[in-house]
Amino acid sequence: MNDKVYFEFPGRIVLIGFGSIGQGVLPLILRHIGIRPERISIVTADDRGRNVAEEYGVKFIKEALTRENFRRILDVNIGRGDFVLNVSVDVSSIALAKYCRGRGAMYLDTCIEPWEGGYTSPTISIARRTNYALREEALALKSGNARMPTAIITHGANPGLVSHFVKQALLNIAADLGVEDAPGSREEWARLAQKLGVTTIHIAERDTQVSSRPKRPNEFVNTWSVDGFVGEGSQPAELGWGTNERNFPRDGKRHDFGCGAAIFLMQPGAATRVRTWTPKSQNIIGYLITHGESISIADYLTVKEGTNVAHRPTVHYAYHPSDAAVLSVHELQGRNWQPQDEKRIMTDDIVSGIDELGVLLAGHKKNAYWYGSQLSVEEARRLAPHNQATSLQVTVSCLAGMIWAMENPNRGLLEPDELDHRRMLELCMPYLGPVVGEYTEWTPLSDRDRLFPEDIDKSDPWQFKNVRVF
């Protein structure tokens, strides 16, 4: 087991939220960052994890943060040189990032979270309930970035780790095609994707973890935050919209502000299904859940010639969660998106399964290439306490982002795509289980048009029209 201390941190660390991710990242922080437990505080809305905090001798503050009280509660725990790790729900990431900048503290979160109701309130326009809108608001904080405390947004497994997988996958494909390239800048990475002919990127994930306790009626079961999944699943489906696309979705909408790299659909992500592929599960159908990486990767890999977009891949998440979570989503949709009364996160009750999380880069000369982690629950438990396969992929990415920020403390606001992917993978690899790259001849047209006639575009198998399940 790797017990290396990567950074001796002289400040304080505050964890906001202490669900499955908070509980899983705490032992990793204490293992790999030089800090005494008494310099770590947890601020969370409920009693979940109190026993874990006590196990490690960490201060536990039960207090729900709101617009009105968060400054008062955090002021006594956060100052110059400290670190805030936000793994909560219903607490504004943008408000916290602004606050940390003002206090001289570093910051990291796993997604751009609004205040309670920001994802689902019918009083907010659909376009403004998107991750695209939240991202644009967050990126506005880049103004005056010079020498500001480092604030890394959206750095969990996905978004986060998958951006580093994309860069490594591009390098692997380039090597296999005999394309010599060593990109360093954003523009050079985008040119490499264009040169290779990558037109489509799926964040392709299949979670096969199984609990010893079957899902009950009126219960939402998941391997990570139920509130987080329901929140993002209720948002509009979103995807980075590529230059190769010839068939604009009939329910698709463009934004009239921001970078223009993404579109949204007029239906929830958890009601939108797409075809994708992973090495172990092969062809699967997942949910097109909105995620920050769908927008940031598409934006990062955009090639511009003057003001015109010359190349941009279509990028989206394709998520097949655990079978219990699929049943839970089906029930949630039947309730017209009113959450179930009971919630359960699968942890110690998991008896088997893996979380196969990677990126599928397609459209190039070798068709499609998947690169990612195939972490089993058994290995996750061996590697780190209070973790299972899904949580460990997130928690180690949080840890890696924290270490990178501590090593680079004055870089202002950053997205995962702007970090050094080599350093991030170096930090994460010991905890990811088998990390594999595999080519496939599969396309979204494989075995199609067989039982019934389908409206498909045979001229380009990777058109989103072919990927989407109607």
- What are the phi and psi torsion angles at 136 (to 5°)? -60, -40
**How much is the pLDDT for 415?**
98
Contacts with 152 (C-beta within 8 Å, 6 or more apart), sequence order: 107, 108, 109, 401, 404, 405, 413, 414, 415, 416, 419
**How much is the pLDDT for 75?**
97
Q: To which CATH superfamily is domain 161-388+421-469 assigned?
A: homospermidine synthase like (3.30.360.30)
Q: Residue written as tokens 């139920």?
A: 226
Provide DSSP, 81-98.
T-EEEE--SSS-HHHHHH
**How much is the pLDDT for 18?**
97
3-state DSSP assignment of residue 10: coil
Q: Give Cα separations from 81 to 102, 150, 232, 241, 319 (angstroms).
A: 12, 10, 32, 39, 37
3-state DSSP assignment of residue 130: coil
CA gap 52, 84 in Å, rounded: 19
Residue type, 446: S
E runs forming strands in 216-261 = 219-222, 236-240, 252-254
**How much is the pLDDT for 145?**
77
Span(s) in the chain for CATH 3.30.360.30: 161-388+421-469
Span(s) in the chain for CATH 3.40.50.720: 7-152
421-428 and 389-407 helices, crossing angle to 10°: 130
pLDDT means per 10 residues in the chain (470 residues)? Answer: 92 97 98 98 96 98 97 97 97 97 97 87 87 96 87 98 98 97 95 98 98 98 96 96 98 97 97 98 97 98 96 98 98 96 97 98 98 98 98 98 98 97 98 98 94 93 97
pLDDT tens-digit series, residues 289-302: 999 999 999 999 99
Residue type, 365: K
**How much is the pLDDT for 444?**
98
**How much is the pLDDT for 146?**
75
**How much is the pLDDT for 119?**
77
**How much is the pLDDT for 439?**
98
pLDDT tens-digit series, residues 187-245: 999 999 999 999 999 999 999 999 999 999 999 999 999 999 999 999 999 999 999 99
Architecture of domain 7-152: 3-Layer(aba) Sandwich (3.40)
Token digits of residue 243? 């230059």
**How much is the pLDDT for 118?**
76
pLDDT tens-digit series, residues 83-132: 999 999 999 999 999 999 999 999 999 999 999 877 777 788 899 999 99
Helix (H) or strand (E) holding 7: strand 7-8
**How much is the pLDDT for 143?**
83
Contacts with 63 (C-beta within 8 Å, 6 or more apart), sequence order: 43, 44, 45, 69, 73
Length of the chain in terms of residues written: 470
